[in-house]
Amino acid sequence: MPPADTPSRRALLRGALAVSAVAATPGLAHAATPRTTGASVAGYRNPLVEQRADPHIHRDPADGRYYFTATVPEYDRIVLRRSRTLRGLATAGESVIWRKHGSGDMGAHIWAPELHRIDGKWYVYFAAAPAEDEWKIRIWVLENAHADPFEGSWTEKGQIVTAWDTFSLDATTFTHRGDRYLAWAQHEPGMDNNTGLFLSRMANPWTLTGPQVRLSTPELPWECVGFKVNEGASVIQRNGRVFLTYSASATDSNYCMGLLTADADSDLLDPASWRKSSEPVFTSDDTTRQYGPGHNSFTVAEDGRTDVLVYHARQYKKITGDPLDDPNRHTRIQPFGWKPDGTPDFGVPVADGPAGVR
């Protein structure tokens, strides 16, 4: 079960159906990119991959190829694709690299995998729960020492141990000025919410070290629709700043993206270094008929310069039953630019079709 002092995720998501809507490669740095359009990513069309939520795309500098993983609607396995182009991920073969256990701690709710290459090895961060208690969700790590993540074997490195043994998920990792960090979502005991965002340095790819600090808690109206959530963090570093996007509210059409910003020369483990945007930066759009955009990651286009937003969204607002039982959160991509003040300009989620233009 979820934490005793907070409602279950599923129950809250059901309740959210009755609530109306309110109002890259992590760590990669380069100069500000020009404002771009969908044509900058050649030949793609949205949805890029159907029925794949919480998408993560890693462009590996060693071979230049794109590696894709995401949540499958059965919540029972981790899949991987690769292609030399972003558009090629749509038709690339998909391999199952790991399956849930039949019982025990990794037997249910296999969510939000991310693939990272660290010190020559491959790592997958993901959430899982015991088959006997599917809401006791925690963060787990897989390791593969083979140069090719489709080869070799995946070793279970275990659970990432956090300060509290509570509901936790959506881990992502990045480096900044020589230090490796983990950002994740977790329920903090005594807080009247479901999850806030936390940050810690790492001793190695599966172990935290030093203080674990809360960067954000859901407090603004658009973060608390049906479900008080900050989750799905992703980091991009540009223009002398560190930007951390996250997702908020229930996973229906109210789901949206927020933004935290810190100066690159600040102490990232000081919550005062981070400024939260007062409004969401990426939301549902009736004109393009895209609903619940969120749980994003970042990559870069084939030109090596154009920043690309990777996210999921649905094509309709009304959902029958539990949003978690609706499989149609599809993976989408779109290039984005930068405002004159150096902050990201995500625009609106583009309409379905070929090379959607902002």
The CB density around residue 222, as the number of other CB atoms within 10 Å, is 18
186, 209, 115, 3 alpha-carbon torsion, rounded to 10°: -20
Asked whether residue 147 is domain-assigned, the answer is no
Residue 165 lies in a domain: no
Peptide bond between residue 130 and the one before it cis (omega within 30 degrees of 0): no
161 is a domain residue:
no
pTM listed for this prediction: 0.89
In a domain, 241, yes or no: yes
Residues acting as catalytic residues = 54, 231
- Domain extent at residue 284: 9-77+173-350
Supply φ then ψ for residue 40, to 5 degrees: -70, -20
Q: Is residue 206 part of a domain?
A: yes
Please report where in the chains the tokens 């949003």 appear, as a residue.
323
Report yes or no on 155 lying in a domain. no
CA distance 330 to 327: 8
Question: Tell me, what CATH number does 56's domain have?
Answer: 2.115.10.20
Cα–Cα distance, 2 to 189 (Å, whole number): 11
pLDDT tens-place values along the chain, 358 residues long = 333 333 334 433 333 333 333 333 334 443 333 344 444 687 899 999 999 999 999 999 999 999 999 999 999 999 999 999 999 999 999 999 999 999 999 999 999 999 999 999 999 999 999 999 999 999 999 999 999 999 999 999 999 999 999 999 999 999 999 999 999 999 999 999 999 999 999 999 999 999 999 999 999 999 999 999 999 999 999 999 999 999 999 999 999 999 999 999 999 999 999 999 999 999 999 999 999 999 999 999 999 999 999 999 999 999 999 999 999 999 999 999 999 999 999 999 999 998 644 4
Give me the number of domains the chain comprises.
Answer: 1
> Is 355 within the bounds of a domain?
no
Rounded to whole angstroms, the Cα distance separating 80 from 35 reads 31
Asked whether residue 94 is domain-assigned, the answer is no
